[in-house]
Chains A and B, each alone.
Chain A
Amino acid sequence: MSAFSRRRFLTTAGTSALAAVFLKGCLGNPPEPGGQTGSTPVASPIALSPEMTPETTKIKLGYIPIVESAPLIVAFQKGFFAKYGMTEVEVSKQANWASARDNVVIGSGGGGIDGGQWQMPMPHLITEGIITSGNKVPMYVLAQLNTQGNGVAIAKMHAGKGLHLDITNAADYIKSFPSNSGRKFKAAHTFPNVNQDFWIRYWFAAGGVDPDNDIDLLAVPPAETVQGMRNGTMDAFSTGDPWPYRILSEDIGHMAALTAQIWPFHPEEYLAIRADWVDKNPKATKALLKGLMEAQKWCDDPNNRPELISIVSGRNFFNIPADILKPPFAGSYEMGDGQAAINDFKKGPLYWKDDIGSVSYPYKSHDLWFLVESIRWGFHPGYLKDIDSVQQIIDKVNREDLWREAATEAGFTADIPEGTSRGIETFFDGKTFDPNNPEAYLNSLTIKRI
């Protein structure tokens, strides 16, 4: 018996000693990765007059870990939200777009979110209950988060077939896929009837390929799509940074087009918040907008990009190694398949201003394009009937007036656009969209569902 207890004592002592060594080695945080860029100080709060003191300091904003959400994260991390009195902002990573949609319907009271980052026209569709099983949750579009930073990738097996920006000459190759390969050309985006769906549809249709009939186009998570491109079951992918860089660096395929080429300085993703929250907290909304605007300005300074990358790359936010984020944030894209590389800061994601106008300001003319394009493809029949009904939805959802007030209060008067329209938009294939005459745009298109 005594031998047994001694043995037991020895093993216990031994294992606990081992465990202690192990714990000491592993407790605490790992060493910070080298080459950390020195961070600039966090913005300090300003004195708030009563008219500017927000009704609440709390809001929960959802985001998806992609370059579009950078200004929200920067505004949070660099203290820009807190500077204007929004000291308890919570930015919450969403599992995917469907989760974000469900969470905004629930609202922060039920553990969901009050608003956040959206592809277009999700706020309009949620307002009308179109993608929330009839559950109408009015939302306001308050600001645009960014422009560009997206593109169309093509699997490696299609190299040398001329699948570049203009696919007019490659259209037959895509259309003859069923007879040559026994299946349709297969393309993916991450969520139906929003941005990335529109970009790839526009690109296909401009080259004479009907995205509804000539190919299979479906929503697939990015990791699966990339896997499919590797093993030959997926041909094209409408995606956003930093996937283009990964696809090139891992030799999975090439970039056919950046959205910066398809439609330079196009509208991309937006900040939208539940209308009930904004109506209850107008001053807090403006405080939030001021913080966001300042973050967007900060993001557009090339000198701040290294710090921006070190903020967003951590596991708390994007969970993507900094090296992968550097090229897209510098506007540098390998295109592959014999195309010249692009190296232009203004072809990457921009957040505050571009060559045409404001990035942050939510132009009504851009909301209109997204909804007109929805009509073009016959999305949501019965809801989006005609241009008039679409205009009514926009007037209800777009709150550019709040953006203007916030920009004025924050002193960004020089960057406030004059009107609610950015004017005539021009696409790579020469087509134009005149916000005053959307019918003409629809008439000019050959491939459409109307």
Chain B
Amino acid sequence: MTTTVKLNKNGTKNNPVLALWEKHKNDLIPPLVGVIGFLLLWEMTSHLPGMRLPGPSSLFTDERTRILLLYPFYDRGGLDKGLFWQTMASLGRVAQGYSLAAIVGISVGILVGTQPFLDKALDPIFQFLRMVAPLAWVPIALVALQQNHPAAIFVIFITSVWPILINTTEGVKQIPQDYINVQKVLQLSKTKFFFKILLPSALPYIFTGLRIGIGLAWLAIIAAEIVMSGIVGIGFFIWDAYQQNYISEIILAVIYIGAIGLILDRAIAYLQKLIAPGQ
């Protein structure tokens, strides 16, 4: 392969990495400055006298945490697995609870949005239940379901279903009157109305709900995995580290949780672009 150096518009020599940097630097510099500044500030405060919180450097200076940091894929069997496997196991649970929440949230949301009576009847219940914290659902789910795994999935489901449901309802209620008039004038069939008018116009709301929901589903993972006990998963990992007071391990796990949360959010946003471009 020939690797001749291309001349760019200005006629100067340039390599591709630098060119990429030139192109995106206005997008990249602010977040980089933000992140590095935050880490520096954190590291400095951790050296203040009387400060107990270890700095970000503890991820590397603490021997046990360093192993976790450098070997995310290790597997000594049982609970003794790298953070990649812990995260994947948790992601599987979140996927189950969240899929259920998406199905139930969207379908009930559409039903409630199209039936004003149901909307008025159920709204106070929804608003009430969505305030309940994930941990508070744990004992209720256990007593009601009498099963460990379903209870954990239920906790994720119940935490993430509300924004999906409420946003879908709102989206359906917000269909412009003009569109409904069009349906009447053209005498569209119910299926046609659903697919051609209701769904497209409610879609942005639904996706907003889905994005908030995935964040909440991921937040519920610690509560869900405490229920299950003795399993591989990032939530139980944090709980175990907390019991032994391993702060730098918790910090590392929190970074994983945050990063996965970010990726999940962007994934749903990407999905939205695919399904409903330009909205």
A41 within 8 A of B: no
B contact set with A: CB distance below 8 Å: 6, 16-17, 19-20, 52, 64, 67, 70-80, 139, 142-143, 146-149, 226-230, 236, 239-245
How far, in angstroms, from A26 to B76 measured CA to CA in the complex? 14
Given contacts A62-B230, A94-B229, are A25 and B143 in contact (CB under 8 A)?
A: no
Establish whether residues A106 and B20, one from each chain, have CB atoms under 8 Å apart when the complex forms. Answer: no
CB distance A103 to B147 under 8 Å?
no
Residues of A within 8 A of B243 (CB): 65, 96, 221-223
Is the pair B142, A102 in contact by a Cβ cutoff of 8 Å? yes
Name which of A120-128, A140-148, A178-186, A314-322 contacts chain B. Answer: A314-322
Chain A residues with CB under 8 Å of B64's CB are 321
What are 29 sample pairs from A and B whose C-beta atoms fall under 8 A apart? A7-B19, A14-B17, A23-B73, A26-B71, A26-B73, A27-B73, A29-B71, A30-B67, A30-B70, A30-B74, A62-B230, A65-B244, A92-B230, A93-B229, A94-B229, A95-B229, A99-B227, A110-B146, A111-B147, A133-B143, A222-B245, A226-B245, A227-B52, A314-B80, A315-B79, A316-B78, A316-B80, A319-B240, A319-B244
Across-interface contacts of A26 in B (CB, < 8 A)? 70-73
- The chain B residue sitting closest to A7, CB to CB, is B16
Q: How far is the CB of A8 from chain B (nearest CB, A)?
A: 8
Give a binary string over A99-127; 1 marks a CB under 8 Å from any B CB, 0 the rest: 11011001000111000000000000000
A100→B226 CA distance, assembly (Å): 11
When distances are taken between beta carbons in the complex, the residues of chain A under 8 Å from B226 are 95-96, 99
Q: Are A93 and B240 in contact (CB under 8 A)?
A: yes
Is residue A44 contacting chain B, with contact meaning CB distance below 8 A?
A: no
Report if A93-B19 is in contact (Cβ < 8 Å); known contacts: A106-B146, A111-B148, A230-B52.
Answer: no
Evaluate whether A94 and B230 lie within 8 angstroms (CB atoms) in the complex, with A27-B73, A110-B147, A111-B149 already known.
yes
Cβ-neighbour of A29 out of B75, B143, B148 (below 8 A): B75
Chain B residue nearest in CB terms to A242: B244
B76 engages A316 (CB within 8 Å):
yes
Shortest beta-carbon distance from B144 to chain A in Å: 12
> Chain A nearest CB: distance from B82 CB in Å?
8
Q: Are B229 and A99 within 8 A (Cβ)?
A: yes
- Report if A408 contacts B (CB, 8 A): no
B-chain residues with CB within 8 Å of residue A6 when the two chains form the complex: 6, 16
| Interface of B (DSSP majority class) | helix
CA distance A65 to B79 in the complex (A): 13
A28 to B84, CA, bound (A): 12
Q: Which residue of A lies closest to B78 (CB)?
A: A316
CB neighbours (8 Å) of A315 from chain B are 76, 79-80
By a CB distance below 8 angstroms, the chain A residues around B228 are: 111
Task: Identify B229's interface contact among A30, A62, A221, CB under 8 A.
Answer: A62
CA distance A95 to B228 in the complex (A): 8
Which 6 interchain pairs have the tightest Cβ spacing?
A: A111-B148, A92-B230, A7-B16, A93-B230, A110-B147, A223-B245
Expressed in whole angstroms, the Cα–Cα distance for A416 and B52 within the complex equals: 51
Q: B236 to chain A: which residues have CB within 8 Å?
A: 95
Give Cα A273 to B215, complex, Å: 40
- Choose among A11, A62, A99, A321 the residue that contacts B16 (Cβ–Cβ < 8 A): A11
Tell me the complex Cα distance, A3–B75, Å. Answer: 43
In angstroms, Cα B85 to Cα A29, docked, is 13
Contact of A110 among B6, B75, B148 (CB under 8 A): B148
Question: Whole-angstrom distance between the alpha carbons of A85 and B241 in the complex?
Answer: 34
Check if A25 sits within 8 Å of B148, measured CB to CB: no
Query: What number of A residues sit within 8 Å (CB to CB) of B?
Result: 41
Q: Could you tell me the distance in whole angstroms from the C-beta of A88 to the nearest C-beta in chain B?
A: 14
Q: Which residues of A contact B (CB under 8 A)?
A: 3, 6-7, 10-11, 14, 23, 25-30, 62, 65, 92-96, 99-100, 102-103, 106, 110-112, 133, 221-223, 226-227, 230, 314-316, 319-321
Which of chain A's residues has its CB closest to B148's CB?
A: A111
Given the complex, which residues of B lie within 8 Å of A62, measured CB to CB? 229-230
Q: Are A103 and B20 in contact (CB under 8 A)?
A: no
A316 touches B229 (CB 8 A): no
Kindly report which residue of chain B lies nearest to residue A100, judged by CB atoms.
B229
Closest A residue by C-beta to B245: A223
Q: A283 to B230, alpha carbons, bound, how many Å?
A: 27
Residue of A nearest to B145 (CB): A110
Q: Which chain B residue lies CB-closest to A31?
A: B67
A26-B71, A92-B229 given as contacts; is B239 within 8 A of A316 (CB)?
Answer: no
User: Complex Cα distance A102/B141, Å?
Assistant: 11
A192 to B147, CA, bound (A): 25
Contact check: which of B72, B148, B230 meets A106 at CB < 8 Å? B148
> Which one of B52, B147, B228, B245 has the highest number of Cβ atoms from chain A below 10 Å of its Cβ?
B245
Decide: A10 and B143 in contact? CB cutoff 8 A.
Answer: no
Which chain B residues lie closer than 8 Å to A27 at the CB level? 73
B139 proximity list for chain A (CB < 8 A): 102
A302 to B239, CA, bound (A): 32
B79 touching A93, Cβ below 8 Å = yes
Which of chain A's residues has its CB closest to B15's CB?
A10
Shortest A102–chain B CB gap in Å is 5
Nearest opposing residue in chain B for A23, CB measure: B73
Chain B nearest Cβ from A232, distance in angstroms: 12
Q: Do B146 and A30 touch (CB < 8 A)?
A: no
Could you tell me the distance between the alpha carbons of A226 and B244 in the complex, rounded to whole angstroms? 10
A314 touches B76 (CB 8 A): yes
Question: Shortest Cβ distance from A101 into chain B, in angstroms?
Answer: 10
Q: Which chain A residue has the least Cβ–Cβ distance from B246?
A: A319
State how many angstroms separate the Cβ of A41 from the closest Cβ of chain B.
19
Determine the residue in chain B with the shortest Cβ distance to A32: B76
* Distance of A11 from chain B, by nearest CB (Å): 6
> Which B residues are CB-close (under 8 A) to A221?
242-243
**Residues of A close to B239: CB separation below 8 A:** 95
CB distance from A131 to the nearest CB of B (A): 13
The closest CB in chain B to the CB of A230 belongs to B52
A103 & B148 in contact (Cβ 8 Å cutoff)? yes
- In whole angstroms, what is the CA distance A103 to B243 when docked? 19
Alpha-carbon separation in the docked complex, A110 to B17 (Å): 55
Known: A11-B20, A94-B229, A111-B228. A223 touches B240 (CB 8 A): no
Task: Note all chain B residues with C-beta closer than 8 A to A100.
Answer: 229
Task: Give min CB distance, A122 to chain B, whole Å.
Answer: 16
Complex: how many Å from CA A100 to CA B229? Answer: 8
Which of B227, B229, B241 lies at the interface centre, i.e. has the most chain A CB atoms within 10 A of its CB? B229
Decide if B16 touches A10 in the complex (CB within 8 Å): yes
Determine how close the nearest CB of chain B comes to the CB of A7; give it in whole angstroms: 4
